[in-house]
Amino acid sequence: MTDAVWVRRWSSVSIITIVGLAGIIAILAFGPLFLGSYWTSRLTTLFIYIILAVMWNALAGYAGLVSVGQQAFFGLGAYVVIRLSDAGMPVYPAIALAPVIIAVLALVLSPLALRLRGGEFAIGMWVFAELAHLLVNLDSLIQGETGRSLIALSAFAPDVRRANNYWFALGAMTIFLALVFVLLRSRMGASVQAIRDNEEAAASVGVRVMATKRTIFVLAAAGCAAAGALTLSTLITFQPKTFFSVQWTAYMIFMTLVGGLGTFEGPIIGAIVFFIVESLFGSSGVWYLIALGASALVFSLWIPRGIWGTITARSGIQLMPIGYRLLFRK
């Protein structure tokens, strides 16, 4: 009987999706040549949002690690760029190196952080973010909340800088999407979800719980650090209270919940929705924030699976080939 059963991962839909995504990224790679300065910098922001949403979803949606302190890595990523640049490193190599350094920091932090569970982990991460904020404030180079500019960026003409930022953000987004995709498709992807659903049961079937959680934790830290470093390259000035603001994590949560927690596609859709809303209403000040909060409320109460989660639950469509489907020969 078992000869007539096999496992399918790729479907024609998922092949079209992957080819389509690759095509979109390939076209976007030429963006600065035809987009004009406004859209080049707007899309840079969108790429950064997608990185943030995808990282928070990997952490919370797949590994069950709900963190409200991811702004720690976002802020530290930017801070490391300031420090490296001050030490004489060229700006763009510094931006590329920052996530690596923060990944090492996250690895060192992980035995402490991952000992905490559920709500304790969430709050513990927030405490860590506040601590990182205070410590960075103590650095004489930063001069407290006065902050410091990434002066070395002024060596680039505005157009060149904009294009470089765009390419770096697009490259980072592609790399982190690919890393999450590869990880979820690997056997570790199934282990991660098992831990999310029941940690003790996962251990009882042989899953290396700590090592698996650590991998996701470090990846998410590196991604948030990349987003922070890239945001610095667009804002130029590093002000601790901007970069260590909990608002960044709030945005990540919003994008992930709206798009669909625990789905690969969800956070990307959520980031695009957030980006559109911000583009249209971002200048309306307080009302924009109220509307954002209200829509988060509407989603969590009535559309808890988010946009993509609802679509996939109703239709069974799987765009990304990360699940397993058993097929039977009739």
Partner 1 sequence: MLTATGATKRFGNFIAVDRVDFAVSRNEAVGIVGPNGAGKTTLLNLLAGTYPLSAGSVSLDGLDVSRTDAAARCRMGIGRSHQVPRPFVDMTVFENVFVAASSGGSCTRAEGYKASIASLDLCGMLSNANRTAATLGLLDRKRLELARALATNPKVLLLDEIGAGLTDAEASELVTIILQLRATGITIVWIEHILHVLLQVIDRLVCMDSGVVIAQGKPEEALAHPAVIEAYLGSGVA
CB of 296 to partner 1, least distance (A): 22
> What 8-state DSSP symbol labels residue 245?
-
Stretch that binds partner 1, among 73-81, 121-129, 279-287, 321-329 (CB under 8 A): 321-329
Q: How far is CA 169 from CA 60, 80, 248, in A?
A: 23, 17, 17
The interface mask with partner 1, positions 204-233, x = CB under 8 A, is xxxxxx------------------------
- Distance separating alpha carbons of residues 317 and 326, to the nearest angstrom: 15
Smaller CB distance to partner 1: residue 124 or 309?
309
List 198, 237, 247, 284, residue binding partner 1 (CB under 8 A): 198
Q: Which of 133, 161, 196, 213 binds partner 1 (CB under 8 A)?
A: 196
Q: How many residues does the chain have?
A: 330
How many helices (H) and strands (E) the chain has is answered by 15, 4
H helix runs in 186-262, sequence order: 187-197, 199-204, 209-235, 240-243, 247-259
Please report, as residue ranges, which positions from 5 to 24 form the binding site for partner 1 (by CB under 8 A): 5-7
Question: In this structure, which amino acid lies at residue 16?
Answer: I
Question: Which of residues 43 and 207 has its CB atom nearest to partner 1 in the complex?
Answer: 207
Binding mask 259-278 for partner 1 (x = CB under 8 A): ---x----------------
Query: Please, what is the end-to-end C-alpha distance for the chain in angstroms?
Result: 11
Torsion of CA 231, 236, 238, 243, to 10 degrees: -20
Counting contacts by CB under 8 A, is residue 197 touching partner 1?
yes
Residue 218's contacts (CB-CB under 8 Å, 6 or more residues apart) are: 103, 106, 107, 110
CB nearer to partner 1: give 147 or 323.
323
Q: Is 187 in the site for partner 1 (CB under 8 A)?
A: yes
Query: 233-262: which residues touch partner 1 (CB under 8 A)?
Result: 262
The whole-angstrom separation of Cα 193 and Cα 198 is 9
Q: Is 117 in the site for partner 1 (CB under 8 A)?
A: no
Interface positions with partner 1 (CB under 8 A): 1-2, 5-7, 187, 190-191, 193-194, 196-198, 200-209, 262, 323-326
